[in-house]
Structure 1
Amino acid sequence: MDKSLFYRGHHIVAKAVEHVFGKWCWTYTIDEQASYSAHGIFHASKGSALEAAIENARMRVDRLPDNGLPEQS
């Protein structure tokens, strides 16, 4: 199950993937353009992996120019 949300005007889609039985990793996409994943740090549950993906995605958006805010026209 994917989790989709908007953060500071950017569309984030996070997904938890069971890498090995009972060990979850995560991946996320920002604005359907850039994908990121972590397959080295396993989580004990799907929910924990999704939370980590969303936290990482929000931190990445915060590091974008203009603090991740969309351009104003």
Structure 2
Amino acid sequence: MKSDEHRSYPCTYKGCNGKELLPVLCPYCKKQFCLRHRHQSDHECEKLDTPKPRMAATQKLVKDIIGKLPSCR
């Protein structure tokens, strides 16, 4: 490859024309993305774990407890 030629890596997200000079691979689905779509939630990763109902209930409980605490000033 000539010194003035650069390889680009196109984003595989549907409808995105973004390209990067370095490969940005999702470690879960192994697909190539631009920096804007690099996170699982940004490219609707097929390997994205959905929160379990139990975890959602725990998060709500923690928020309720924190909401009842007096604010520190």
TM-score with structure 2 setting the length: 0.30
Greater RCO structure (CA 8 Å; 6+ sep): 1
Larger radius of gyration: 2
TM-score with structure 1 setting the length: 0.30
